């Protein structure tokens, strides 16, 4: 994992501030009767207006894989991540809706080869209308587990402490499952970088020490059922194998000399009523 320079961090921080505002605007659109494609189109519009580029749309992990088709990952209910925004999928009361969004910013940066920008990544799970109390608690636990993990980030500590703090917190909250096959990651130069950051304790990461200048994305993913996942019929959506409700929250942050700074905070985030 590359340590980012102060100048690089400044640019990543600017992008993080923008994508936080974008996600805040999208969250307000998540009401019954709105199609997921309508939210997706607005996401792309806002990113382009800000001078950025959607980092998920067109993304492919290998030459042989098809490019991802939409700006946001739009996942409903038992859909965990990588859902495609569609014109025929409308939000309805009782749904929970996850928006995962990434941005490359600014475009045309003379400091990068090919004028590429810098990457940030963030996600939120929202309730649509009134939801089941158990699902509401799932959202609260998942969101709070992210905050617990953020508090654990400190230079000189092993990266494994992040997953350890999430796992410890979630286990105390009740009968929840942490998804094990998907993880957080480094970010900044690329959409995904090393290290992998699982949401559970992994002893193999005990020797990976956090240092100032590292930029990472932490993203707890938790379900009301088991932890096994499958790829849905559309070939994209990763969903819970047992059909259980699941939640996903994410922030990009930079490790500092004294702790960390969250770069993708949404405006007035601490006052949000998401569920």
List, for residues 96-145, the tens digit of each pLDDT value. 999 999 999 999 887 788 889 999 999 999 999 999 999 999 999 999 99
64: in domain: yes
Cβ proximity of 119 and 254 under 8 Å: no
Selection from 60, 86, 84 nearest residue 72 by Cα: 84
Whether residue 199 is predicted with pLDDT greater than 80 in this model: the reply is yes
Cβ proximity of 8 and 214 under 8 Å: no
223: in domain: yes
Q: Quick one: pLDDT band at residue 61, thresholds 50, 70, 90? A: confident
Task: Quote the radius of gyration of the chain (alpha carbons, Å).
Answer: 18
Which token pair is 84? 């495609």
Polymer length of the chain = 275
Tokens 């992040």 belong to which residue? Answer: 162
Tokens 């702790």 belong to which residue? Answer: 259
Whether residue 151 is predicted with pLDDT greater than 80 in this model: the reply is yes
Q: 150 is in which domain, residue-wise?
A: 6-271
Number of structural domains found in the chain = 1
pTM over 0.95: yes
225: in domain: yes
Cis peptide before 22 (omega within 30 of 0): no
Mean pLDDT of 35-46: 98
1: in domain: no
CATH code of the domain containing 141? 3.90.230.10
- DSSP tag of 210: -
Rounded to whole angstroms, the Cα distance separating 221 from 241 reads: 14
180: in domain: yes
Greatest alpha-carbon span in the chain: 50
Rounded to whole angstroms, the Cα distance separating 36 from 38 reads: 5
Q: Which range (112-116, 176-180, 190-194) has the least confidence?
A: 112-116
The pLDDT, as a whole number, for residue 1 is: 63
51: in domain: yes
Percent of the chain surpassing pLDDT 70: 100
Phi/psi of residue 84, each to 5°?
-95, 135
92: in domain: yes
Which token pair is 150? 């953020």
């Amino acid at each position: 994992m590359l340590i980012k320079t102060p100048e690089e961090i400044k640019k990543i921080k600017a992008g993080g501030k923008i994508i936080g505002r974008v996600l805040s605007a999208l969250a307000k659109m998540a009401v019954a009767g709105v199609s997921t494609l309508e939210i997706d189109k607005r996401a792309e519009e806002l990113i382009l207006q800000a001078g950025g580029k959607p980092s998920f749309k067109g993304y492919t992990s290998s030459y042989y894989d098809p490019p991802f088709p939409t700006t946001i990952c739009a996942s409903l209910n038992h859909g965990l991540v990588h859902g495609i925004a569609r014109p025929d999928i409308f939000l309805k009361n009782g749904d929970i809706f996850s928006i995962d969004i990434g941005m490359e910013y600014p475009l045309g940066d003379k400091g990068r080869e090919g004028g590429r920008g810098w990457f940030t990544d963030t996600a939120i799970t929202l309730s649509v209308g009134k939801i089941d109390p158990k699902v509401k608690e799932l959202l609260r636990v998942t969101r709070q587990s992210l905050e617990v993990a953020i508090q654990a980030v400190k230079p000189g500590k092993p990266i494994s402490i992040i997953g350890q703090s999430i796992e410890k917190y979630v286990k105390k909250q009740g009968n929840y499952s942490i998804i094990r096959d998907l993880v957080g990651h480094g970010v900044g130069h690329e959409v995904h970088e090393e290290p992998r950051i699982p949401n559970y304790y992994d002893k193999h990461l005990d020797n990976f020490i956090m240092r100032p200048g590292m930029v990472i994305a932490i993203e707890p993913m938790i379900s009301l059922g088991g932890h096994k996942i499958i790829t849905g019929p559309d070939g994209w959506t990763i969903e819970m194998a047992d059909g259980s409700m699941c939640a996903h929250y994410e922030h990009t942050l930079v490790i500092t000399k004294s702790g960390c700074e969250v770069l993708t905070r949404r405006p007035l985030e601490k006052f949000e009523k998401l569920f």
